[in-house]
Amino acid sequence: MLAKRQIALLFYLLLAGSWVIMLPNFSVAASGVYKADALWEKTYGGAGDDRAFYAAALPEGFLVVGSTTSLQPNKTMALALKLGDEGDMLWNRTFSDTQNSEFRYVLILDDSFLFVGNTFLTSGDTDGYVVKTDHDGKPLWQFSISNGGVDKLFSAVQTQDGFVLAGLTNPVGGSGSDVWVVKISEDGHLVWSKTYDWGMDDAGRAVLSSAGNQYFIVGYKNSAGNDDYDFLLLKIDAEGNLLWNRTYGGAQSDKAYAMLDADGGLLLVGDTRSKGAGDSDAWVIKVDFEGNLIWERTVGGSSFDMPTCISNSASGGYLVGGFTFSFGEGCRDFWLFKIDDAGNVLWQATVGKGNYEEAYGVVEVAEDTYVMAGWTNSIGRGAYDFYIVKINVGSGGVAWIVYVAVCLAAVLLLIAILLLLTRHKSKNVL
């Protein structure tokens, strides 16, 4: 009787072990960061330098914006691509033939697109540059604005009667850059332009609307001019008057690049040299609508890791995209992680090739499925090419949890077998 029971128990042990063995390889690193499955990948570009800075979802497909040097010799041109669901190019448009230019952001409007970026003048100055187009990318109007020096725009939000744009301005003869916020009308005319200065170098990188036609702007400030930057959050009223500002940071450099309206507050995302485990880590902080800190989290490895964008996830939580030197296959890879409402990291994933990839946009297209946009020099035709990749993380993160659970079950089963065998052996001795 004992032999039969032992044989049965050993059979179940072997069965549990076979489940572990038969599980596929999920490429899970010791850090818990796994390589995402690439469902498809596309590059767009020529022999020059082509870089994507932002991506937005359309009802069908995606809009990706950036710049290209491949179309004309010694010329940088703002570039917009409309892509289908599988990454096929539907159209591409370039803008600002008379000046070097780039796009950093795009707003998807009901019947049009608003492209936000900059033009680079032969004098060395930079002007903010805004183009409104129809849904085929044909310009309806263009708008340029300058304070007479280096002036850049990075983000925009639609208002009831126009648009508010955020960036930085460094006027000629100034001691450093200032936060720069501009309001324009629906037809591209200047309504007001405001600057906010706290020291040597300040910048606005993202803008969100608030109740009562008020606005939040996030970026960074450097009061002493010693590279000790801090996250900067300010709130302004409908006329651009400053209501309050807050800073967050440590003893070294901390810069915020993106912001999201979250449950009961705001999520601010940037890189930190003051905290974390590596040369630079992602730093995500949540504040209430008065700027009071609720929680903070650092995410990253032993090297240099940079977040560039944040978005909501349809299944709850938040997606943070960027690039990493700490994890992945190459020198620098696309990096994506998901956090919950309390800032806990649910999973991390990378996708990339042997050399350099940087991600600046992420769009959720289905559960556990995302399209990321940025640039690569691992594949493609030129120095850098637009790199758009559709990835699935469900087979990595979820399956890794299943794998751990099965392994744990196998261990518990082995312990139970050993206890049973010991028990029977003890009875036989008695």
The pLDDT of 374-401, averaged and rounded, is 83
Length of the chain: 430
Higher model confidence: residue 411 or residue 385?
A: 385
Q: Residue 144, Cα to own-chain centre: how many angstroms?
A: 27
SS (H, E, C) 240-282: CCEEEEEEECCCCCEEEEEEEEECCEEEEEEEECCCCCCCEEE
- Which H helix or E strand runs over 406? helix 394-429
Higher model confidence: residue 79 or residue 404?
A: 79
Output the DSSP codes for 83-107.
E-TTS-EEEEEEE-TTSEEEEEEEE
Q: Is there a contact between 284 and 278 (Cβ–Cβ < 8 Å)?
A: no
When pLDDT is cut at 50, 70 and 90, the band that residue 328 belongs to is very high
The pLDDT of 15-35, averaged and rounded, is 52
When pLDDT is cut at 50, 70 and 90, the band that residue 137 belongs to is very high
* Cα gap 418→430, rounded to integer Å: 19
Judged against a pLDDT cut of 70, whether residue 112 lies above it is answered with yes
When pLDDT is cut at 50, 70 and 90, the band that residue 28 belongs to is very low
Higher model confidence: residue 160 or residue 13?
A: 160
Judged against a pLDDT cut of 60, whether residue 406 lies above it is answered with no
Q: Is there a contact between 338 and 345 (Cβ–Cβ < 8 Å)?
A: yes
Tens digits of per-residue pLDDT, 250-278? 999 999 999 999 999 999 999 999 999 88
Domain limits of the chain? 1-36+398-430, 41-392
Measured between its terminal Cα atoms, the distance across the chain in Å is 17
What pLDDT shows up at residue 274?
Answer: 95
Judged against a pLDDT cut of 60, whether residue 14 lies above it is answered with no
* Cα gap 6→391, rounded to integer Å: 46
Range scoring the smallest mean pLDDT among 13-17, 362-366, 411-415: 13-17
When pLDDT is cut at 50, 70 and 90, the band that residue 227 belongs to is confident
Q: Is there a contact between 53 and 66 (Cβ–Cβ < 8 Å)?
A: yes
Average pLDDT value over all residues in the chain? 88
User: Does the domain formed by 41-392 have CATH 2.130.10.10?
Assistant: yes
The pLDDT of 238-258, averaged and rounded, is 97
- The rounded percent of the chain whose pLDDT value lies above 90 is 77
Higher model confidence: residue 21 or residue 367?
A: 367
What pLDDT shows up at residue 113?
Answer: 98
The pLDDT of 94-107, averaged and rounded, is 93
What pLDDT shows up at residue 3?
Answer: 55
